[in-house]
């Protein structure tokens, strides 16, 4: 058993499942948005705002944002532990990714709920 | 036929270099690469490599031959393109010439506890298995630990201390599916971290090179499903 402190999940399986689940959510979101663009004759401000007015869309968008952030963290964590053998560089890289991910999350919540 | 062979003696050489040899090989000869190496050693006795069984059973002469890992003793020279470039197995520390330090590889093997653990009472004669259960070990027990697969695996190159590697995982699965082993849960728990199993990215280099025709990627997939089943 190899212990890690910076991985997202508690176990290898946990990360692996999260990675796949988040991929499915992102795909569903893209398909849903694609459907919206294809079936809306004219994308006006009102139509766009109407789309995001429902709680469903807000929650769905938030879930997708959460998926993007988790997916990015798990994936980039793996890349960094493969290709950045130097601990100082690895930690710096991971810190930057964490800051970007958390900022995106907070910013997304602000936009979605117009805070 | 031309041969370019990796040479390095840490006591006398500053850097590894490639030595060229030219050898006459008769058309249609059924020589194996190991035979050629043995001939070359007669020309230059300092050339070092490992070998023992010379028939693909002991797993000691794994080499990187024209860029692909394989056993010298069962690689026909006629199947190779000239110049034949021979290097030690990639990713492991070189001790001398074609001899690598396999310690890291064996450490991973040791980690998966490659022996039967059974809490059931020791029978007078032997632990029996149905023919069906025995069949599940086919394609797993044949591994000769030549390390051709693990040293062809990028994930093993980057994390040889943490990722068990295809060879070790094939063996791990061999004991996970053994009907006589009672420690399946503990074995799975030992593997469920971010590295041991899950660093496998399914590139299948291991399957491509295994001289015994085994399929570590498939075994790794089975371990993953076992982890999934026990984890949800
Ligand atoms: S399939 Fe997995 S174990 Fe095999 S070479 Fe690829 S990453 Fe390594
Ligand atoms: S799985 Fe094949 S390549 Fe890997 S160590 Fe065993 S015999 Fe060698
Ligand atoms: S010498 Fe034994 S496997 Fe080649």
Residues A1-36: tens digit of each pLDDT: 788 888 887 789 999 999 999 999 999 999 999 999
Tell me where in chain B the CATH 3.10.20.30 domain(s) lie: 2-100
Q: Which residues of B touch A11 (CB under 8 A)?
A: 192-194, 231
pLDDT tens for each residue of B129-168: 999 999 999 999 999 999 999 999 999 999 999 999 999 9
**Beta partners for B65?**
B68, B86
Banded pLDDT at B225 (limits 50, 70, 90): very high
CB B230 within 8 A of CB B222: no
Of A1, A9, A16, the CB nearest to B190: A1
Atom of ligand 3 nearest to the CA of B53: 2
Residue/partner pairs of B180-187 with CB below 8 Å, 24 or more apart: B180/B116, B180/B118, B180/B120, B180/B127, B180/B129, B181/B116, B181/B117, B181/B118, B182/B117, B182/B118, B182/B119, B182/B120, B183/B113, B183/B117, B183/B118, B183/B119, B184/B226, B185/B230, B187/B112, B187/B113
The one-character DSSP state at A14 is H
Residue B28 binned pLDDT confidence (cut-offs 50, 70, 90): confident
Nearest ligand (C-alpha, residue B214) = 2
Q: What are phi and psi of B4, to 5 degrees?
A: -115, 120
3-class DSSP string for chain B: CEEEEEECCCCCCCCCEEEEEECCCCCCCCCEHHHHHHHHHHHCCCCCCCCCCCCCCCCCCEEEECCEEEEHHHCEHHHCCCCEEEECCCCCCEEECCEECCHHHHHHHHHCCCCCCCCCCCCCCCCCCCHHHHHCCCCCCCCCCCCCCHHHCHHHHHCCCCCCHHHHHHHHHHHHCCCCCCCHHHHHHHHCCCCCCCCCCCCCHHHHHCCCCCCHHHHHHHHHHHHHHHHC
List of domains in chain A? 12-113 (1.20.1300.10)
Distance CA A111, CA B121 (A): 65
Q: Which residues pair with A74 in a beta bridge?
A: none
CATH tag for B103-231 (out of 1.10.1060.10, 3.30.390.30, 3.40.220.10, 1.20.1630.10): 1.10.1060.10
- Relative to the CA of B165, which ligand 1 atom is closest? 3
- Take atom 5 of ligand 2 and give the residue whose Cα is closest: B145
Q: What is the pLDDT at residue A93? A: 97
CA distance B174 to B191: 14
Residues A48-68: what's their mean pLDDT? Answer: 94
**Is the Cβ–Cβ distance between B64 and B88 less than 8 Å?**
yes
Please give the residue of chain A at the shortest CA–CA distance from B157: A82
pLDDT at B7 over 90: yes
- A50-79 mean pLDDT: 95
Q: Tell me the pLDDT tens digit for each residue of B175-207.
A: 999 999 999 999 999 999 999 999 999 999 999
The whole-angstrom distance between A40's CA and the closest CA on chain B is: 40
The pLDDT value given to residue B57: 97
Q: How confident is the model at residue B16 (pLDDT cuts 50, 70, 90)?
A: very high
* A11 close to B (CB below 8 A): yes
List the CATH code of the domain at B2-100: 3.10.20.30
Q: What is the pLDDT of residue B27?
A: 82
How many whole angstroms from its chain centre is CA B138? 17
pLDDT score recorded for residue A9 = 79
With a cut of 80, say whether residue B69 has pLDDT above it.
Answer: yes
Average pLDDT over residues A71-86: 96
Give which of B194, B198, B224 to mutate to test A binding, by max A Cβ within 10 Å. Answer: B194
B82 or A68, greater pLDDT: A68
B133 CA to centre of ligand 1 in angstroms: 26
Residue B24 has pLDDT above 80, yes or no: yes
**Among candidate residues B109, B103, B228, B92, the one with its CA nearest the CA of residue B167:** B109
Instruction: Of A90-104, B18-32, B77-91, B141-155, give the lowest mean pLDDT range.
Output: B18-32
Q: What is the mean pLDDT of residues B61-85?
A: 96
- Mean pLDDT, chain B, integer: 96
The pLDDT value recorded for residue A115 is 65
In the block, residue with structure tokens 């396999």: B102
């Amino acid at each position: 058993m190899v212990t890690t402190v910076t991985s997202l999940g508690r176990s290898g399986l946990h990360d692996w499942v999260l990675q796949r689940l988040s991929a499915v959510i992102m795909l569903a979101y893209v398909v849903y948005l694609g459907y919206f663009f294809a079936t809306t004759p004219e994308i006006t401000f009102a139509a766009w705002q109407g789309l995001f007015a429902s709680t469903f869309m807000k929650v769905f968008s938030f879930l997708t944002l959460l998926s993007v952030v988790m997916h990015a963290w798990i994936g980039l964590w793996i890349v960094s532990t493969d290709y950045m053998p130097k601990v100082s560089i690895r930690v710096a890289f991971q810190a930057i990714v964490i800051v970007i991910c958390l900022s995106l999350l907070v910013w997304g919540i602000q936009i979605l709920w117009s805070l | 036929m031309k041969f370019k062979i990796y040479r390095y003696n840490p006591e006398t050489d500053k850097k590894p270099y490639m030595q060229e040899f030219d050898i006459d090989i008769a058309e249609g000869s059924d020589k194996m690469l190991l035979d050629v190496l043995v001939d070359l050693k007669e020309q230059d006795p300092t050339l070092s490599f490992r070998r023992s069984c010379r028939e693909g059973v002991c797993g000691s002469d794994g080499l990187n031959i024209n860029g692909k890992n394989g056993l010298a003793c069962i690689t026909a020279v006629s199947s190779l393109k000239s110049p034949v470039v021979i290097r030690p197995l990639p990713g492991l520390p070189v001790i001398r010439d074609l001899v690598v330090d396999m310690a890291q590889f064996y450490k991973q093997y040791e980690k998966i506890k490659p022996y039967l653990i059974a809490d059931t009472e020791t029978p007078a004669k032997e632990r029996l298995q149905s023919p069906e259960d025995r069949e599940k070990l086919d394609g797993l027990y044949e591994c000769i630990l030549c390390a051709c697969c693990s040293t062809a695996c990028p994930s093993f190159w980057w994390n040889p201390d943490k990722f068990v590697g295809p060879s070790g995982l094939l063996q791990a699965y061999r004991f996970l599916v053994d009907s006589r082993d009672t420690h399946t849960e503990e074995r799975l728990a030992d593997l469920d971290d971010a590295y041991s199993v899950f660093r496998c990215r399914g590139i299948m280099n291991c399957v491509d090179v295994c001289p015994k025709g085994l399929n570590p990627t498939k075994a790794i997939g089975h371990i993953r499903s076992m982890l999934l089943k026990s984890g949800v």
